[in-house]
Every structure is written in C-alpha cells, then in structure tokens.
Structure 1
C-alpha cells in the first residue's frame, strides 16, 4: 500500500542495462526531500524472471503504468531519466501532459534529445564487437567493462535494451512538450555539443549544461545532480 505524503515526488528512469537500484546514491541525497519512485522495466532487478520488452512503445506503456499507480496528484513531481531513461521519459512527459498531469520539470541526462543520434544498430553484433560499441557509446562504466562475469550478467539486458531502442517499429518523437527541460551531458559524450537541441522539443524554459566526464558522468556527480534536482523543486515550490 502506498504511503500518502505531502513531499513532492521524483520519478527516476534507469538507463540501458540498469534497474531500479541504478541511482542509489541519488536516493541517499534526496530521500528526505522527495517521495522517490523507481520504475523498472522487466528482465532485470526485481523483475529478472519476466521477458524483455521489444520496442519503445511497450517500454513507455510499462513505465507509465508504474508511474500512474504511485502518482499522488496532490503534490508536484519531477521526472529524471538518464540515456534510455531520458528517451522514454520525454514520451512519458507528453502523455502525462495529455492526461492533465504533466511534471514540473523534466531532467534528461546523457542524451541530446530526439533526432540527433545516428549510430548503426548494435544489438545483434557478435559479443566482442557488441561490447566494443557499448564501450564507445559509454553504455557501461569502465569498471564493469574489465570484469568478464559482470559482462556475462549485463550482456542479455544490454542487448535487449539496445534492441528495444533500435526497433524499426519505433516512431521518432515529433512535436513539443510543455514541461520545462533541464538537460545535462558529459563533456566527452559523442553528441554533447548537440545538447541545445532540447530547445526544439519544449515550449517551456530549457536549460542545457555540459559537465566534466563521459556518458556516465553521473557516477562522479551524484551530489551535483542531487543539488540540481533540489534547486528545481525549490523553484517550483516557491511559485
């Protein structure tokens, strides 16, 4: 049973290969400020026994269902997503807006917004080539890439998540959301210099920031990220 609280809500959407525990350091920084919800796609974490999803539409519907079940409409909320979580989060923002309950802010990290990335599909590559591409894209931290047992564990989840995002049935995002966007990318990410592309996908305020680090800059910047999120909810509550 959900506990009713007056604290604002924060929905954290995990990256490819991630699960509901991917942002644990962020939870430790923010649990006293927010009711934190961590939706999780099947095939990992607490849902290891469930089959993977096949396309972006299925993933958005699955996360939306979890968000709606825990959403308390009497309090403001934010959506944060990293990489795949940012891709799916944008779609979720639009649907929540259409339902009359859009978030106060959308915080995408590790993603320059729609219709920029133009990488060849990698989900079906042989193992060595697959992980070479994952490393190039920043899809796993350097620490994980050095341990074969961890690669064995992450390989099916990563292949499924990249396959989900690469599915030819996926429709490109079109139009704009009405939610303010606060986007962050790591300086050495492939498309970091395209981050201002986010301004094309919201009719509200849009701030774009580049920080030191690679695709997983968040792992060294959880304190910074927590402060950003706290600042955004403070702006909301001060209105």
Structure 2
C-alpha cells in the first residue's frame, strides 16, 4: 500500500484570492486516486487564520515555495495548478523550481491570461459597497452570500488582503519564460478571455489554450472537466 501511494505523482493546488486549502474540494475528490494532492495555503485564512496577511507578490511566492519544498517528494514527478491569483503566483513558482533543478511536468493555469495583460484599476481600498460590487462582477460570491452581512464580514478582510497583495506597487511584473509546458483555460465571459494566447509568450515549451463557458469562476461548474485536463496532461508528460 505505501509503495503504491508513494509512486503517485504530486499535484500542488494553489488557491485564488479569498480562497484557502479547501477551495478545490471537488477537484481533490476527483484526483485523489491518481495523485498525491498538496494544498498550500497563504497566511490569514483556513488553518493559518491567526497569522498576518502578506503584503506583496514576492512574499506570497516565497511563502508558497517554502510549503511546496517541504512537501515535495523528488522521487515522483509533479505538476502545479493555480486559479486566478494561484495562476499568477504559480508561474513564478514554476520559474523558481526550474532554477532549482526540480521543474514541474506541467503548469495548468485557469482564470488568468498570463502576465502584462490585465489593466484593471485597484479595488482593495474601495469602500465596502463598491468593493463587493467589483467582486460580484467576477462571479466569486453568489447573490445569496452577497445578501448576508455576516458572510461578507468573514470574506472581506481576506479578499481585501489578497487583492492588495496583487495590487501592491512594489510588485515586479514577470518578464521571463518558463520551460514548463502550460495548459491555460478561461471562461468566455471573463474580461480578458480573448487574450489567453498571451500564455505562449511565457513558455518555451508546449502551450495549449482553451476557452469554456462561464465567468471567472467557471471552475465551480467544471471541476470534472478540469480534473480530466489535469489527468490528460500528466499522462502525456509521463508517457514521454
């Protein structure tokens, strides 16, 4: 039994803004028979609720990298998946892991068109009503949640912190290229969906881009599709 478990490839799931290690529960259920699943989590939420939020992208990348390195089993291949903020941070994590001679087999990125495309005004410092109106546009919170003040009280500090992390003026835009193959998916109702082929500018390896029905959180209705994508790309990578 232990031999079988240890031979499974690893997958690191990187959560989106406002998310935590439980954000991909349906995906975990779909993949757990084939992968050793790791769910790194940024401070200030979930099991790390008592820790202070991070302030910029560099700190978030370093924090997630430390968690990945602690869980990484170098005797098996691995891949990285990230949605939205998770994709932004995941790209830089792939780059660093390559420099450490432990490149992932694949990087699956959803809800993000790649670097240097999005040009939205910052929202982290907006008044509450305006802030949640912008969050609503992303499709991240249901209308039911938006009507319950206690739930908004719970989500507001985490969401503000994560948007602030991404909007920090100290952040340095990613300008290099990774050597890891990329599979990128966006919902057709996302603002920058038609820019998805921008990903080809940021990898020297194979890059496949797909647009599916839905908004920024299309993944919530497409976990089975996403799980199949992950299985397919890992099978293809391991067959080489």
TM bin (shorter chain): over 0.9
Tell me the alpha carbon deviations over residues 103-126 of structure 1, each in whole angstroms, 9 at most, x when there is no partner: 000000000000000011110110
Structure 1 pair 81–143 and aligned structure 2 pair: CA distance change class (3 A): farther
Q: Aligned-residue CA RMSD in angstroms?
A: 1.2
Q: Distance in 2 between matches of 1:143 and 1:213?
A: 19
Secondary structure in 2 matching 1:133: helix
Matches within 5 A, 1:70-219: 70-219=71-220
Q: Distance in 2 between matches of 1:24 and 1:9?
A: 16
Contact 1:195 1:208 survives alignment (8 Å): yes
Contact 2:138 2:215 survives alignment (8 Å): no
1:221 corresponds to: 222
Structure 1 pair 88–141 and aligned structure 2 pair: CA distance change class (3 A): farther
Q: Distance in 1 between matches of 2:51 and 2:76?
A: 32
Secondary structure in 2 matching 1:12: strand
Tell me the alpha carbon deviations over residues 150-194 of structure 1, each in whole angstroms, 9 at most, x when there is no partner: 211100000000000000000000110000000000010010000
Contact 1:185 1:209 survives alignment (8 Å): yes
Secondary structure in 2 matching 1:5: helix
TM-score scaled by length of structure 1: 0.97
Contact 2:97 2:103 survives alignment (8 Å): yes
Stretches of 4+ aligned residues off by more than 6 angstroms: none
Structure 1 pair 94–143 and aligned structure 2 pair: CA distance change class (3 A): farther
Contact 2:138 2:217 survives alignment (8 Å): no
TM-score scaled by length of structure 2: 0.96
Tell me the alpha carbon deviations over residues 7-62 of structure 1, each in whole angstroms, 9 at most, x when there is no partner: 00000000000000000000000000000000000000000010000000000000
What's the CA shift for 1:146? 3.5
Structure 1 pair 174–141 and aligned structure 2 pair: CA distance change class (3 A): farther
Q: Distance in 2 between matches of 1:148 and 1:200?
A: 43
Unaligned runs of 5+ in 1: none
Unaligned runs of 5+ in 2: none
Q: Distance in 1 between matches of 2:58 and 2:83?
A: 18
What's the CA shift for 1:137? 3.2
Pick which of 227-236 and 142-151 moved more.
142-151
What's the CA shift for 1:144? 3.1
